[in-house]
Amino acid sequence: MPVKMQIAMESPRLSSRERVMCALNFREPDRIPRFFSFWPEFVQTWQKTKGTGSHLDVARSYGSDMMIVAANETAWPSSAKTVEQAGDQIIHRTGWGELKRTRSGAMFSQTLQTALPKRVDPDRLEFEDPLLESRYEGAAAQAAAHQDEFAVFGKTGGPYLRAAFLRGQEDFLADIAEDPAWVKAFVDRVTDHILQVGQESIRRFQLQATGIGIYDDACSFSSPIMGPAAYEKLFFPALCKLVRGYKQAGAAKVFHHCDGNVGDLLDLWAAAGIDAVHPLEFRTGLDPVRVREKYPGRLAVIGSLDNSNILPRGDQATIRRHLARILEAARGGGFILAPHSIGPDISLDTMQYLIELLDQHANYPLRPISIDSPDVRCQTLVPGCSRL
């Protein structure tokens, strides 16, 4: 009798867009999607080793699947200029009206002056036209050039941080305490501007099949900066307006980026219609497995790879335990592996080891990572942390 042979069929390889959207729709793609972003100093180190290469070449080399493009959403883009330069010291005016001092090539800057040192009537606050062609030109070309290679998402700010840019962080926190009615009106005005830029970005960059991220750092290491109650009263309605408006413009998914411990805000974000949270920083004690369990089919996770403690300082055994834990969140989809960002304190050797582990264990069906100890709880990795 003829012998019947079973031939193992490989799962079809998905494009980056298909892979990311499959995961965000809580299905298991061919492998766990990745989203890496890099500090310029890390890129420079990589370039010295390879001899050449761009930021995108670095992303390609590590198998990153997502890419972010952003229009110029600032209030007054025509005001952005260099005011003074002496050596590597630069003083410049931003499109948010801030006067800042920085150094050539630096990521951070010092704010010397803000646009609104005093409270103003929000109804009289005028911004430059959100539909200005110049806001979109560069990002539109970038999106068009890479739509077939990456899952391209747009980006805007959110209701807290952009309002704080205009007033300054300290003054804005005082506003929240002293005059919440003014804050709500002010936030609504800023949000209306952001919304128009975001909707136009979705249209111009053809992001309907993917979506857009709302970047709004409203949390510290331990909690929301202004407290959960104030956030819900003053910023949650504006967030709902953004999410609703972006989905009306056709965005398939809207994710929320916020550094710090966002645990107290996740219920609100899920209620607002947020589809995924980024970067869900592991160092704050937030466990992606618990988040996936608490919001099944509602909140996906883009993040959880610890770039603050484990990747910069952990040995290979610690990295393996960390990865073994967070990859459990990927079962059933709903997970994209990402750090906040990859900085110069993370070595090329560490990244190579991480990618080797992912190449071995991140294809579906997932293969468990063998570890030295069965205890892979987050408490073994971040002393004193607590789970959601």
Residues 253-267 have pLDDT tens digits of 999 999 999 999 999
| 295 is a domain residue | no
- Regarding whether 273 and 128 lie in a shared domain, the answer is yes
- Regarding whether 311 and 253 lie in a shared domain, the answer is no
- Regarding whether 155 and 140 lie in a shared domain, the answer is yes
Query: 110: burial class by Cβ within 10 Å (0-12, 13-18, 19+)?
Result: exposed
| 223 is a domain residue | yes
- Regarding whether 142 and 199 lie in a shared domain, the answer is yes
Asked which of 52, 86, 114 is the last residue of a domain, the reply is 114
- Regarding whether 125 and 96 lie in a shared domain, the answer is no
- Regarding whether 212 and 181 lie in a shared domain, the answer is yes
Total domains in the chain come to: 3
Averaged pLDDT score across all residues of the chain: 92
Name which of 349, 357, 278, 277 is nearest 322 in CA terms: 357
- Regarding whether 161 and 60 lie in a shared domain, the answer is no
| 355 is a domain residue | yes
Question: Could you give the 3-state DSSP secondary structure of residue 167?
Answer: helix
- Regarding whether 236 and 125 lie in a shared domain, the answer is yes
| 110 is a domain residue | yes
Residue 202 sits in which domain range? 70-75+120-278
- Regarding whether 271 and 143 lie in a shared domain, the answer is yes
Phi and psi of 7, rounded to 5°?
-105, 125
Question: Could you give the 3-state DSSP secondary structure of residue 4?
Answer: coil
List all residues 6 or more positions away from 189 whose beta carbon is below 8 Å from its beta carbon: 122, 123, 125
- Regarding whether 223 and 142 lie in a shared domain, the answer is yes
- Regarding whether 88 and 28 lie in a shared domain, the answer is no
- Regarding whether 91 and 208 lie in a shared domain, the answer is no
The tens place of each residue's pLDDT in the chain, 388 residues long, gives: 443 434 334 557 999 999 999 999 999 999 999 999 999 999 999 999 988 888 899 999 999 999 999 999 999 999 999 989 888 899 999 999 999 998 877 767 888 899 999 999 999 999 999 999 999 999 999 999 999 999 999 999 999 999 999 999 999 999 999 999 999 999 999 999 999 999 999 999 999 999 999 999 999 999 999 999 999 999 999 999 999 999 999 999 999 999 999 999 999 999 999 999 999 999 999 999 999 999 999 999 999 999 999 999 999 999 999 999 999 999 999 999 999 999 999 999 999 999 999 999 999 999 989 876 443 444 334 333 333 5
Q: How many other CB atoms are found less than 10 A from the CB of residue 46?
A: 19
Look up tokens 């100890």; give the residue: 373
Asked which of 245, 278, 311 is the last residue of a domain, the reply is 278
Task: List, in sequence order, every residue forming a beta bridge with 277; answer none if it has no partner.
Answer: 256, 301
